[in-house]
Chain A
Amino acid sequence: MARYIIGRLLSLIFVLFAVSLIAFLLMHQVPGGPFSMSDKGPLPAATQEAMLRKYGLDKPLWVQYTRYIWHALHGDFGVPFQSPTETVTGLIMRTWPVTIKIGIPTIAIAYALGTLFGFIAALKQNTWVDYTVSFGATLGMVVPNFVVAIWLLLLFSVYLGWLEPGGWGKPQDYIMPVIAYCLAPMALVARYTRTCILDVLRADYVRTARAKGLAEQRVLTWHVGRNALIPFVTILLPEIPNILTGSIFIESTFRIPGLGRFFVTSTQARDYPMILALVLLVAAFWGLTYILTDVLYTVLDPRIRLGGGKVAG
């Protein structure tokens, strides 16, 4: 197990290098540099040169890249050109908590209600309850969250006039972003819970458990619930980094000062250090979650052996 995890971590490091290199090469393909424009029009050539020299951008690309990696390995991710008075780490530490504050209630609501709806739909298979949940889940999964956000704005801010259309700080500012953000994962959770529970309900060991006279309650929690958890973990855990790194759509619609908007502004401002930091952050977060998922998988299902072993049974 330890060997397997170390192997996976090493391969994650390789992927991070590859990803950072691709991002680095790609962003230098974007025409224009970070200092070619100011608020008052194009900067004079001499000023541009001085700025480029200040940030080491006049060096050949490979020098810049190795230098970046060297500094990054020492925990220094540079200065964001959009906001040169702080460090990249500082900027992320300032804005990411805002995104996480939206993300945590989103995850909590989506997973709790999604599991509940999925469970109910599976137990009431082929009744109107099941059809309603399944239809709602399809709707939730395919309607983009910025579309939902606009509908919420139309309902709560325009038609009912209950909520401010955007802003950040007051507790009620959470309501619309969290609803708009949680519908898609909730639908995904409900759909997978339903499928998993239905699969397990048909399994032989559940029939055996019932046949030997176990209380339905115990069959559902002990036999069904536990086994349905396995596919659940593999499919739904990887959604979490997605949610926690924020949605550009939600944050721009409701004007939330989180991490999400930097995904757009950094590219537009040719903010090289910020771009690389975001790419690495997301890739590392995803990679670690996938490793965690695979490890949890073996804990939940002893039939699975990691690292090339055969699956028994």
Chain B
Amino acid sequence: MATSTSVAREDLLAGAEARLRVQAPRSAAYYAMRRYFRQRLAVVGFVIVLFLMVIGFGAPLLAPTGYADADLMSANEYPSWHHPLGTDAIGHDFLSRVMYGTRTSLIVGFSAVAVACLIGIPLGVAAGLYGGLTDFVVMRLVEIMTAFPGLLFAIFLMTITGPGVRNIILVIGITSWVTICRLMRAQLLTLREQEYVTAARSIGASELKIAVRHLLPNALAPVIVAITLAIPLAIFAEAGLSYIGVGINEPTPSLGKMVADSAPYIRVYWYLGLFPTLAIALIMLGFTFVGDGLRDALDPRQM
């Protein structure tokens, strides 16, 4: 009798402890992560991106050959055990080319978005915080950038700067900062009117403190989502520019250029068109799933 009571009491205690443990406060990042990994497509996207990073950034270690190693004697071979994705017209192992092409895509995607952030975020913050003349100038700049046909602008800049990885990163960054800038500004404009900002101001917080402590952290979530979704767009831009011949040139491998080079021979050497296009589609899908998943995880109110 006595033992069973003590067991029951211990159970009760354990239960209460467990409940306490569950209710212990967790960081917002923890909940965002839990919401993220509950979405099936977001997890798929995460796995795809992880896989792409491994084969892309790991290409120097994992690829069968270097990206410029060509063996003319084995040019235009169909996929086989020796060359799983075949070889191209100059005898490059195509698997290595696609892996290095993925690497180029990732490098351009990440760096171009970094450039876009370096331009867009300061301009957006300035416009949103100061308003007035600053806002007017930034918004006119945004308007002109929007009116200017983006692709034509990029082609222009590429012709001025010449082909190459560094140039294409700068050009894509310069032509794609507008979305991030606008979003940053819109966020700050909304947040500025919130009650807690008025409250902070009324207890004597300085404008700088309000900006750093209240406005920027709250504006961050949608901006992070926009940045994530800008990566596939930048990768698409690189592939597109290289496809029409004003992007990246040989010997640097670019998936877009590979697709363009394959087009004339596609009736015979079908694999030269198939594999780089599959790689591009996989990259775009992976990053978009991650971006969509992040959006739902960071702000469940948004669609």
- Picked from B143, B152, B160, the residue with its CB within 8 Å of the CB of A15 is B143
Closest Cβ neighbor of A255 among chain B residues: B263
Residues of B within 8 A of A268 (CB): 159, 246
Contact across chains for B147 and A283 when beta carbons are under 8 A apart: yes
Q: Which residue of A lies closest to B303 (CB)?
A: A195
Q: Give the residues in chain B near A267, CB-CB below 8 Å.
A: 152, 155-156, 159, 246
Residue of B nearest to A29 (CB): B160
Contact A264 B149 (CB under 8 A): no
Across the interface, which residues of A come within 8 angstroms of B288, CB to CB?
A: 138, 141-142
Residues of chain B contacted by A248 (CB below 8 angstroms) = 151, 244
Cβ of B152 and Cβ of A144 under 8 Å apart?
Answer: no
One of B62-70, B187-195, B235-243 at the interface: B235-243
B180 at the interface (CB under 8 A from A): no
Q: Tell whether B19 is near chain A: CB-to-CB under 8 Å.
A: no
Interface size class of A (residues with CB under 8 A): 35 or more
Q: Is B266 an interface residue (CB 8 A)?
A: yes
Interface residues of A in 1-58 (CB under 8 A from B): 15-16, 18-19, 22-23, 26-27, 29-31
Decide yes or no: A283 and B270 within 8 Å by CB, A143-B281, A144-B240, A147-B281 being known contacts.
Answer: no
Report B238-281 CB contacts with A as 1/0, cut-off 8 Å.
01100111100000000000010011001100100110010011
Bound: A267/B183 CA distance, A: 32
B66 smallest CB distance to A (angstroms): 26
Query: Closest residue to B155 on the A side, CB-wise?
Result: A267
Kindly identify which residue among A19, A27, A245, A252 contacts B147, using a CB–CB cutoff of 8 Å.
A19
A253 within 8 A of B: yes
- Which stretch from A153-161, A205-213, A221-229 is at the chain B interface? A153-161
- Whole-angstrom distance between the alpha carbons of A19 and B266 in the complex? 40
Tell me whether A253 and B263 are in contact (CB under 8 A). Answer: yes
Provide the residues of chain B in CB contact with A142, threshold 8 Å.
232, 236, 281, 284-285, 288
CB distance from B231 to the nearest CB of A (A): 11
Q: List residues of chain B with CB within 8 A of the CB of A30.
A: 156, 159-160
B76: shortest Cβ distance to chain A, in Å? 16
Q: Is the pair B292, A138 in contact by a Cβ cutoff of 8 Å? A: yes
Q: Is A68 an interface residue (CB 8 A)?
A: no
| A138 smallest CB distance to B (angstroms) | 6
A154 contacts across to B, CB distance below 8 A: 266, 270, 273-274
- Cα A139 to Cα B286 with chains together (Å): 10
Are the C-beta atoms of B285 and A139 separated by less than 8 Å? yes
Which among B144, B246, B273 is the interface contact of A264 at CB below 8 angstroms?
A: B246
Q: Which of A19, A26, A139, A159 contacts B156 (CB 8 A)?
A: A26
Interface membership of B31, Cβ < 8 A: no
The yes or no answer to A168 lying at the interface (CB within 8 A) is no
The smallest C-beta distance from A13 to any residue of chain B, in angstroms, reads: 11
- Chain A, residue nearest B287 (CB): A142
Residues of chain A lying within 8 A (CB to CB) of residue B289 = 138
- A-chain residues with CB within 8 Å of residue B259 when the two chains form the complex: 146-147, 150
CB-based contact B144/A22 at 8 Å: yes
Q: Does B148 contact A (CB under 8 A)?
A: yes
Task: Output the least CB separation between A253 and chain B (Å).
Answer: 6
Query: Which residues of chain B come closer than 8 Å to A157, judged between CB atoms?
Result: 266-267
* A253 partner residues in chain B, CB cutoff 8 A: 263
CA distance A16 to B144 in the complex (A): 9
Nearest Cβ in chain B — how far from A269, in angstroms?
A: 10
Q: A249 contacts B273, CB within 8 Å?
A: no
Nearest-CB distance from A82 to chain B (Å)?
15
List of B residues within 8 angstroms of A139 by Cβ: 285
Interface flags for A236-278 (1: CB within 8 Å of B; 0: not) read 0000000001001100110000000001100110000001001
User: Which single residue of chain A is at the shortest CB-CB distance from B140?
Assistant: A18
> Are B280 and A147 neighbours in the complex by a CB distance under 8 Å?
yes
Does B149 lie within 8 Å of A282, measured CB to CB?
yes
Whether B152 contacts A278 by the Cβ 8 Å rule is yes
Q: Which of chain B's residues have a CB closer than 8 A to the CB of A147?
A: 259, 277, 280-281
A22 touches B148 (CB 8 A): yes
Q: Which residues of A contact B244 (CB under 8 A)?
A: 248-249, 252, 264
The reply to whether A143 and B263 form a contact with Cβ atoms under 8 Å apart is: no
Residues of B near any A CB (own CB < 8 A): 41, 143-144, 147-149, 151-153, 155-157, 159-160, 232, 236, 239-240, 243-246, 259, 262-263, 266-267, 270, 273-274, 277, 280-281, 284-285, 288-289, 292, 303
Closest 10 CB pairs of A and B: A142-B284, A282-B149, A147-B277, A283-B147, A142-B288, A150-B273, A143-B281, A15-B147, A150-B277, A30-B159
Ordered by A's residue number, 24 sampled pairs between the chains whose C-beta atoms are within 8 Å are A15-B144, A15-B147, A19-B144, A22-B148, A29-B160, A30-B156, A30-B160, A138-B41, A138-B289, A142-B236, A142-B284, A142-B285, A143-B285, A144-B236, A146-B243, A146-B259, A147-B280, A158-B266, A165-B266, A263-B155, A267-B156, A282-B149, A283-B149, A286-B149
**Supplied contacts A263-B151, A264-B155, A286-B147, 17 more A-B pairs, CB within 8 Å:** A18-B147, A135-B41, A141-B288, A142-B232, A143-B284, A144-B236, A146-B243, A147-B259, A153-B273, A158-B266, A158-B270, A199-B303, A253-B263, A263-B155, A264-B246, A279-B152, A287-B147
